[in-house]
Amino acid sequence: MRFRFIIKLNRTLTLTYCRKMASSVESTGSNRAMYPDIEPFQTGMLIVSDLHTLYYEQCGNKDGNPVIFLHGGPGGGISPRDRTFFDPAVYRIILMDQRGAGKSTPAAELKDNTTWHLIADIERLREELAIEKWVVFGGSWGSTLALTYAEKHPDRVKALILRGIFTLRRKELLWFYQEGASYCFPDAMDEYVKPIPEVERGDLMGAYHRRLTCEDENVRTECAKAWSKWEMATSRLHVDPTLLQRAEEDSWALQFARIECHYFVNGGWFETEGWILDNVDKIRHIPTTIVQGRYDMVCPAVTAWDLHKAFPEAEFHWVPDAGHSNKEPGTQSKLLDACDKYKHL
């Protein structure tokens, strides 16, 4: 009975999503190149608890306009490319690996790893670097974290740059991890469900969580790769083989899958289902740009549209020929434009 209910619910969500995508389209515009590669002028390890230590780095202009880049996942970690959205002559660029991700230690650790721990970590880093206010950039899970941080600390945010909007509502999770996106990627879905016995497939997130937290290292690794491959296979309009290769890296896949699944089965520890949208009035005075790929399978466009309706003051951009990735040309260009728009705040 429960399995039939989930199928019915997700078919309804699929139809709703497709109808929502039938609204207005704007042209992508010119495709911009990223700023040149740069190296950090400072790296550090910030102790945030008896257990967790976070890696962070600063790049660009030491005396420039501070901006923090919040990576996706959760569990995805930062990369050198993330530095290059920002004009290094103007911005003081701060990047941080969240708890358990990237170079932060201990790797893939789930204890004391919640949304509210991460919000406190961002504030801790701001204080450590003696920054009064900063621009906050976040995509996918990074958009969740950016919105939540701004709603908790609106006086610390100069502007928000958001991409691939994700508010961690149950229907968003069911769309991607249970059935909805499978209507477009049935072949990738077959690979995703392969490690899970058919009897458990009515709750794929729960089934994965049991395996990603079990004692058997081989089971954890197999499931981490399958979970990660599903997202890598569906995150772009045209599948990127390099993303699929990344999902084969044991350490990265374990960080990514374990932490994501941990957050999602716990609903992000939000007090209510729609907590982010319910609290959006707290940030409607903050200059904000929202960039959303029309054919985003990972974070369906209906979520960005819901945010747009709740936050009409924000500048909103559809990218008509893009999925979820910030590497797709139209999305990349719009994000670069947004970063340039706020660099002299």
pLDDT at 3 over 90: no
Residue range 52-71: mean pLDDT, rounded: 98
Residue of higher predicted confidence among 3 and 181:
181
3-state class of 118 per DSSP? helix
**Could you tell me if 223 and 283 are in contact, meaning their C-beta atoms sit under 8 angstroms apart?**
no
∠ CA 263-184-311 to the nearest 5 degrees?
A: 55
Q: Where are the beta strands (DSSP E) in 2-90?
A: 42-47, 53-60, 65-70
pLDDT at 227 over 60: yes
For residue 93, the tally of other CB atoms under 10 A from its CB is: 30
Amino acid at 72: G
Handedness of CA 327, 77, 337, 148 (dihedral sign): positive
Residues belonging to the active site: 140, 296, 324
Q: What is the pLDDT of residue 240?
A: 85
Distances (CA, A) of 189 to 26, 192, 194, 255: 31, 5, 8, 21
CA 233, CA 188: separation in Å to the nearest integer?
A: 7
Domains detected in the chain? 2-23+173-269 (3.40.50.1820), 42-169+270-341 (3.40.50.1820)
pLDDT at 6 over 90: no
Q: What is the pLDDT of residue 15?
A: 44
Q: What is the pLDDT of residue 239?
A: 86
CA 156, CA 123: separation in Å to the nearest integer?
A: 9
For residue 190, the tally of other CB atoms under 10 A from its CB is: 10
**Could you tell me if 180 and 13 are in contact, meaning their C-beta atoms sit under 8 angstroms apart?**
yes
- Name, in order, each residue with C-beta under 8 angstroms of 220's C-beta and a sequence gap of 6 or more: 211, 212, 213, 214, 254, 258
For residue 223, the tally of other CB atoms under 10 A from its CB is: 27
CA atoms within 13 A on the CB side of 133: 13
Q: What is the pLDDT of residue 34?
A: 98
Residue range 242-251: mean pLDDT, rounded: 90
Amino acid at 159: A
Q: What is the pLDDT of residues 261-307, one digit of tens each?
A: 999 999 999 999 999 999 999 999 999 999 999 999 999 999 999 99
3-state class of 65 per DSSP? strand
The predicted model scores a pTM of: 0.91
Residue of higher predicted confidence among 303 and 24:
303
pLDDT at 118 over 70: yes
Chain-wide mean pLDDT for the chain? 93
CA 345, CA 338: separation in Å to the nearest integer?
A: 12
Q: What is the pLDDT of residue 243?
A: 83
pLDDT at 25 over 80: no
Q: What is the pLDDT of residue 11?
A: 52
Q: What is the pLDDT of residue 30?
A: 65
pLDDT at 61 over 70: yes
CA 159, CA 139: separation in Å to the nearest integer?
A: 14
pLDDT at 5 over 80: no
Residue range 197-225: mean pLDDT, rounded: 98
Amino acid at 125: L
Q: Where are the beta strands (DSSP E) in the chain?
A: 42-47, 53-60, 65-70, 91-96, 134-139, 157-163, 288-293, 315-319
Share of the chain above pLDDT 90, in %: 88
